[in-house]
Structure 1
Amino acid sequence: MTGPVRSVSQAFAILRLLGGAGASTLSDIGRGVGLSPSSCLNLLKTLVAEGAIEREGTTKRYRLTRPWQAAEALRDHAGARLVERAGLPMEAFAQATEAAVGLWKIVSRDRMQLAVRAESDAGMRLSLADGQRQPLGSGAAGRAIAAIQRATDAEMARRFAPVRWQSALSFETYARQVADAAVRGYAIDQGFTHRGVWTVAAGVPGVAPGYCLSASIVAGSRSEAEIAALGTALIALRDELAVPAG
């Protein structure tokens, strides 16, 4: 038995992404579905020719055509399901690790927003504010998202530029940390975004418009080995949430 045709699967991934994220640029789509710019452009041209998507003249963004906007199957509910089922596992994780845990969602090309939060009942604990937003490039979450999206150096630089780091951080170091995150599966921010706070984050693959889990602790409260264990546990939580409840 032959498997699925890769190009067809990629085309439907693009359609689902546009159904969930709305009008998007070529680079945003390519990162979202894991395609090179040239491969993505070829698929986009085909989808335009078939009348499934259209290109906005002024913004040069791609969007579903009106008939395809009405297709319920292309309304990507994966993100909504992820948010719905994240609460209890995140609470259990926060209690077990005594960390402030967040599920972040990309809400624009420049910002992410906290969608779900959980914290332990430890006497000394960190807390995240409901619905808070932060620049897309900031924190461990920004590094983890860039890693899982395989962002180019130019895109990383664009995201990095507006971030106000509380501790000095060069772009070269930032880019190296993103590369490290791509290898091990989680990113680390040790007080660069917020002094006194260390954060570990793992991107959630395959869910538009982009999600990331983070776990924040008091700086210096864990050893290097314990930080690595927290990152590994966060990946396990991400994988648990990625499997729909039966």
Structure 2
Amino acid sequence: MEYVVTEDSAAPGKAPTLADNSKKSGSSYGVIVKPVVNAIGVLRYLAHKGAPERAADIARHLEINPSTCFNILRTLVLEDVVDFNPLSKTYSAGLGLARLAEQLVTQGQRVQLALPLMRELAIARGITVTLWRPMGNDRIVLVSSESSPADLHIYMPLGQRLPILMGASGRLFVGQMNLSENDLHAEFARIRWARALSFEEYLDQVHLAQRHGWAVDDGYFSDGVLAIAAPVRDTTRSIAYTVSAVMIRSQHSDAEVRIKALGQSLKELGTRLESVLF
């Protein structure tokens, strides 16, 4: 039997729920920043065109105000993702854009190399193992997931986004956010947890995670779900990812012993993933 853990992204901070796979709901993010859309449109057009173009022609094709288009192009040139030829007064996709695309492909390839290590632990422990990374300053996103072939396991859709404080991973990321206690309290207050959790209890759990090197969320992220996470650090020793074990609480007995053993296993896996991802 497969269960899916989802978040209603239309209601920020709403606690995810445990539901069967037939009740999966989609995500929608309604905020659109027009200048960003226009800039991406310019990059797509130049990459597709494959030949230098004048600013006026780009603006006409994309139906962008010529002055706005010129300012976008000038900014993209300064950011080294578009090249400008001063003789012909034309613009083309720059080497910086190619390097950016290459970095994204390389990152994806590295995540693929992490999957066998994650799968190994998922099968050995009969759990779901997930990989999360921060997105901006206030969200984390699920980039990879491996489940055991057991009859009962948890499925989490790739691309799922959660408030950065939420879950076992959140208790790790918050440790390097350098927020004042007042700011942290304000962010905490915006989240609706599946189980009652005071700010003081949350802080204690954050400090405990810092001492142990791994964190626990015991049903606060989603009722009936136990999550344990460990950091994956980059070359600067910042937490770039977290690797998390997710399981249904009622599946397992002797939870305290299991949590400690899994925490240590995840800590070791996080160290192994560092050599793959960086």
* TM-score of Structure 1 vs Structure 2, range by shorter chain: 0.5 to 0.7
Task: Name the amino acid aligned to 1:194.
Answer: S
Tell me the distance in 1 between the aligned counterparts of 2:157 and 2:80: 39
SS of aligned partner of 1:126: strand
SS of aligned partner of 2:136: coil
Partners of 1:200 and 1:216 within 8 A in 2: yes
Q: How does 1:34-113 map to 2 (within 5 A)?
A: 66=79, 70=96, 80=108, 82-113=110-141
Partners of 1:147 and 1:178 within 8 A in 2: yes
The structural deviation recorded for 1:228 is: 0.4
Tell me the distance in 1 between the aligned counterparts of 2:178 and 2:259: 23
Tell me the distance in 1 between the aligned counterparts of 2:124 and 2:115: 14
The structural deviation recorded for 1:151 is: 5.0
Tell me the distance in 2 between the aligned counterparts of 1:216 and 1:205: 20
> Segments of 4+ in structure 1 off by > 6 A?
75-78
The structural deviation recorded for 1:102 is: 0.7
When structure 1 is superposed on structure 2, of 202-211 and 159-168 the one drifting more is 202-211
Partners of 2:173 and 2:239 within 8 A in 1: no
Count of equivalent residues: 181
Tell me the distance in 2 between the aligned counterparts of 1:86 and 1:231: 18
2:255 pairs with 216, 219, 223, which one?
223
The structural deviation recorded for 1:159 is: 3.5
Deviations 1:149-184 (A, max 9, x none): 565424532442322201010111101100000000
The structural deviation recorded for 1:142 is: 0.4
Indicate whether 1:212 and 2:242 are aligned. yes
Name structure 1 gaps, 5 residues minimum: 1-64
Aligned residue number for residue 72 of structure 2:
none
Cα pair distance change 1:148/1:231, threshold 3 Å:
farther
Percent same amino acid among aligned pairs?
Answer: 30
Partners of 1:144 and 1:186 within 8 A in 2: yes
The structural deviation recorded for 1:130 is: 2.1
Name structure 2 gaps, 5 residues minimum: 1-77, 82-94
Higher strand share: 2
Cα pair distance change 1:89/1:160, threshold 3 Å:
same
Tell me the distance in 1 between the aligned counterparts of 2:241 and 2:144: 11
Tell me the distance in 2 between the aligned counterparts of 1:209 and 1:76: 19
1:188 pairs with 216, 233, 251, which one?
216
TM-score, normalised with respect to structure 1? 0.64
Tell me the distance in 2 between the aligned counterparts of 1:205 and 1:158: 27
Higher Cα Rg, which structure: 2
The structural deviation recorded for 1:114 is: 0.4
Tell me the distance in 1 between the aligned counterparts of 2:173 and 2:115: 21
Aligned residue number for residue 152 of structure 2:
124
Aligned residue number for residue 240 of structure 1:
272
SS of aligned partner of 1:210: strand
The structural deviation recorded for 1:210 is: 3.0
Indicate whether 1:201 and 2:229 are aligned. yes
When structure 1 is superposed on structure 2, of 76-85 and 197-206 the one drifting more is 76-85
When structure 1 is superposed on structure 2, of 79-88 and 219-228 the one drifting more is 79-88
Tell me the distance in 2 between the aligned counterparts of 1:80 and 1:115: 9
Partners of 1:106 and 1:209 within 8 A in 2: no
When structure 1 is superposed on structure 2, of 140-149 and 95-104 the one drifting more is 140-149
SS of aligned partner of 1:122: coil
Cα pair distance change 1:99/1:149, threshold 3 Å:
farther
Deviations 1:72-105 (A, max 9, x none): 69x9778556423211111111101111111011
TM-score, normalised with respect to structure 2? 0.57
Cα pair distance change 1:190/1:133, threshold 3 Å:
same
Cα pair distance change 1:108/1:196, threshold 3 Å:
same
Tell me the distance in 1 between the aligned counterparts of 2:139 and 2:240: 11
